[in-house]
Structure 1
Amino acid sequence: MTIETSDGNNDVATFYNGTGTVPLAGKLRSMWGGNLHLGYWHDTDDDTPPDVATERLTDLVITCLEPKPGQRLLDIGCGVGKPATRLLTTHPVQVVGITISEAQVDQARARAADSGLADRARFEHADAMLMPFPDASFDGAWALESMFHMPDRAQVLAETSRVLRGQSRLAITDFVLRTPLGTAGKAVVDRMCATFGIHSISTLDEYVEQLGAHDFAVTNVRDISDNVLRTGILLADAMESVREQLVANGNATEVDAMINATREFATTAEFGYVIISAVRN
C-alpha cells in the first residue's frame, strides 16, 4: 500500500524557505544543532541531546555510503548542508548537493564557506526528478529524509540510477508503513503528509521492489523505528515551547495542527523508519 498526495514541489519549497503560514524550518533547525532530520537514540535510557542524536543518524548514513577518498557524491535533498559538511570533514571526498529550496542553497553554500570546505562542496537549486547532471557522473548518493518529499519517487530513483556509475552505493533514510493502515492510522498519515509536505509513504516491500525496478540491488535494510521515534515527542515539546513565536497573523490553528501531527507521529504504530543501503547494478 502506498499513500500518495499532490504532485508538486511548491509545498516543500515553501516549508523549507520559511514562507508558509508556519515559518517552522529555521526555528526547528536552530534547536536541532543545524539539522532538520530525526535523531538516533540507542535505547530508552539514552539521554543524548537532540543535536548529538541527529549527528549520530548522519554518521549511520555515512557508514552506509562507505565513502572512498576522491569520490564525487550526490546529496539528494541536501537541506542547508549540515550532513554534507559532516561528511566532508571526516572523509576526503567531493559533494554536490541539490535542493528545491533556493533559501537552503544559499545557507548550504555559506555553511561550506564558513567551514573552509567550499573547494569540495557544491550546492545547486535543482529538481531531483530532472537532475542537471550527465549520465554516470557520481560515485555514490544519499537521500537523508528527502525521498518522501518527492512528488514522483520512481522518477527520482530513475534519475539517481542514471547519474550514478555502476556499483555506486545509495543510502536512503525514509518513513515506511510497518503495518496495514486502519482508519485512525490513515488519518494520522494524511495529517503528517499535509503538514510536512510528504508526498508518498509505502511499505518496505514496495520500496525494495521500486529500487529493483531502477537497477538497484538492496544490500541491507535497518529498521530503526524505535530508535528515532523519540524525535517526534521532543520536537512537539520544542514547538510548544516557542508556540507564541510561531503564531502570527492568525495561524494558531495551523501551528497547533503541526504540533499535534508531530506528536502523533511518535505514537502511531503504523509509522516506521528505515535506513536502506543499495548498490547500482
Structure 2
Amino acid sequence: MNGLFSNRDIADYYNQTQQHYQLWWKLGKALAVHYGIWYQNTRTFVEALQNTNLALLNLAGNVVNPRVLDAGCGVGGSSFYLAHTCGAKVTGITLSEKQLAYANQQLARQKLAHLVDFKLEDYTQTSFPDHTFDLIWAIESVTSTRDKIKFGREVYRILKPGGILVLADYFKVPNLFDKNNWLEKWRLTWSLAPIITHDEFVTAMESERMKFNKSLDVTREITPTSRRMYYASMAAAIPSLVYNRLHNTSHFGKNHYKSGIYQYKALRQGLWEYRLLRFVKPDEPEIQSPKKTG
C-alpha cells in the first residue's frame, strides 16, 4: 500500500473490518459506523450514535418528504433513520459489497423498500440524472476521497436548485506539527485520503459553486466516542497480535486495532476536529457578465 487508496482499497477496508464493527460498535443495533455525539443527558452509546443523525438532520433544516442521497451509506442506518423520521425517499450508495449486502438484509427486515434502496456506486461519479436530489447526506465518507473538487462537482450536478448538502467529518487543525505522525498512521488504517482542514474543504466545495452556509464544531461532544474507541483498541491489542500470528489475516483486518489508538492520541493533541457542515446549491445559476469587446 502506498497510502493513496483506490475505490477497491476502500471497499476492501470495509469488507475486511465489518466483523470488528459488529463486535465493538453495536452494528446490529445502531446500524452505524460513525462517531457518536454525547450530550449531558446521553445515556448509552447507541443513543450517542443516533444523536449524530439527529444533529445532522437538525442542521439540514425543515425537510419534508425529501429525495435524499446517502453518500457513503455504510450499512444503511442513516437511510433508515431519514425514511422513518421525515418520510424521505432515500438512495444509499457504498463501495463495499459487504455493506451493501448487510444494508439490503436490514431493508428486508424493516420493510422500507418503498422508501429506501441501496446501490454500489462512487459518490464522485454517480449514475443519477441532473437535479435528482433535495438533500445529500454524508457522514464520515467524504474524507475517503482524494478528489474533493470532483465530489463537489457531482454534488452540484445531482442536487436540485436550492438543494442542501450536509456532512459530518474529521478535519485537520491547521498549523500544528504532528511530531508522532498520528494523523497519517490513523488514516492508513482506515483507508482515508490525506486529512485536510475545514477551510480547505470549504474552498473545494465553493470552487464548484456550492454555497457554504454553516459549520458546527462538535469535537468535544464526540470525544467520549473517541475515548471508547481507544479503550476498545487497547483491549483488542494482545488478542489481535496473537490472532494475526496464528492466521493469515487481511491487510486492514490485521492493523485495524491500531486505528483507535492513533485517532485518540491525535485528538488529545488537538490535531483534528469533528464538524458538521451545511452547503446549499443556489436557486438560480450564476449569470456571467458579458465580455467587453473592442
- Answer whether TM exceeds 0.5 for this pair: yes
Counterpart among 176, 179, 182 of residue 174 in structure 2: 179
Cα separation, partners in 2 of 1:123 and 1:253, compared to 1, 3 Å: closer
Partner in structure 1 of residue 22 of structure 2: 26
Matches within 5 A, 1:54-203: 54-66=49-61, 68-184=63-179, 187-203=181-197
Unaligned runs of 5+ in 1: none
Give the SS at the match of 2:131: coil
Aligned residue pair count:
273
Cα separation, partners in 2 of 1:16 and 1:69, compared to 1, 3 Å: same
State how far apart, in whole Å, the 2-side matches of 1:277 and 1:246 are: 39
Partner in structure 1 of residue 13 of structure 2: 15
Give the SS at the match of 2:195: strand
CA RMSD of aligned residues (A): 2.4
State how far apart, in whole Å, the 2-side matches of 1:37 and 1:25 are: 10
**Alpha-carbon distance, 1:18 to partner:** 2.0
Check the 8 A contact 2:267/2:273 in 1, yes or no.
Answer: no
Partner in structure 2 of residue 279 of structure 1: 280
Counterpart among 188, 192, 215 of residue 209 in structure 2: 215
AA in 2 matched with 1:9 = N
Check the 8 A contact 1:8/1:151 in 2, yes or no.
Answer: no
State how far apart, in whole Å, the 2-side matches of 1:212 and 1:78 are: 24
Cα deviation code 1:109-147 (max 9, x no counterpart): 221221121110010001112111111111111111101
Q: Percent identity?
A: 22
Unaligned runs of 5+ in 2: 283-294
Cα deviation code 1:203-254 (max 9, x no counterpart): 2221111111111111111011111122111012223445566452326973
Greater shift in the superposed pair: 89-98 or 173-182: 173-182
Cα separation, partners in 2 of 1:117 and 1:273, compared to 1, 3 Å: same
State how far apart, in whole Å, the 1-side matches of 2:23 and 2:266 are: 20
Check the 8 A contact 2:130/2:159 in 1, yes or no.
Answer: yes
State how far apart, in whole Å, the 1-side matches of 2:233 and 2:122 are: 29
2:199 aligned with 1:205:
yes
State how far apart, in whole Å, the 2-side matches of 1:245 and 1:13 are: 25
State how far apart, in whole Å, the 2-side matches of 1:54 and 1:206 are: 27
Greater shift in the superposed pair: 109-118 or 268-277: 109-118
State how far apart, in whole Å, the 1-side matches of 2:59 and 2:178 are: 36
Check the 8 A contact 2:148/2:201 in 1, yes or no.
Answer: no
Cα separation, partners in 2 of 1:143 and 1:161, compared to 1, 3 Å: same
Look at both structures and tell me which one has the larger radius of gyration over its CA atoms.
2
State how far apart, in whole Å, the 2-side matches of 1:10 and 1:58 are: 27
AA in 1 matched with 2:270 = A
Matches within 5 A, 1:241-260: 241-243=235-237, 246-247=240-241, 248-250=243-245, 254-255=255-256, 257-260=258-261
